[in-house]
Amino acid sequence: MEKITSFKLNHNTHTAGFFLSSVNLDIFTYDLRFVTPNSGQYITPSVAHTIEHLFATVIRNSPIKQDVIYFGPMGCRTGFYLLLRNVAPEEAQKATIAALKDSTLLKSIPGNKKIECGNYKSHNLPAAIAAITEYISVIENFDTSSSIL
């Protein structure tokens, strides 16, 4: 079987940051790496779940909402994938930072009712906001020209 793109990445040298992972026709896959892989520091399931609810809601209500295809966590719990249609790295980074900042302003978790979520009790808003805030400081001045994986 052919190795998928994300498994071709050297996780021993990969760092936290904002990376263009792949381009497939007009679909740009971005790697929002919150923590360095294999560092022993991982995003807890409740924090990842909360970030997913916050960011997915905000980015799907942002100026690039028509270009958002998917946002979700990596199984390794070191970050998230953001799939956008025809959004180049610099614009994607700006939109991501704006959506992350707006996410930290939310006082409640969107879609956090039992009828809306399959695991509505597994959330941690304060820890998610702290993780987002830390990640913003990592990517605010991140050079997207050198971020292509």
What CATH number corresponds to the domain at position 120? Answer: 3.30.1360.80
114 located within any domain: yes
Contact (Cβ atoms closer than 8 angstroms) between residue 60 and residue 37? no
78 located within any domain: yes
Instruction: Give the count of domains, the chain.
Output: 1
3-class secondary-structure state, position 27: strand
pLDDT for residue 149: 58
The string of pLDDT tens digits covering residues 35-86 is 999 999 999 999 999 999 999 999 999 999 999 999 999 999 999 999 999 9
Residues 6+ apart with CB under 8 A from 146: none
pTM of the model: 0.94
Please measure the distance between the N-terminal and C-terminal CA atoms of the chain and give it in whole angstroms: 22
Range of the domain at 118: 15-139
34 located within any domain: yes
Checking 132-135 for CB contacts under 8 A at 24+ apart, the result is 132/51, 132/54, 132/55, 132/100, 132/103, 132/104, 133/104, 134/34, 135/16, 135/32, 135/34, 135/100
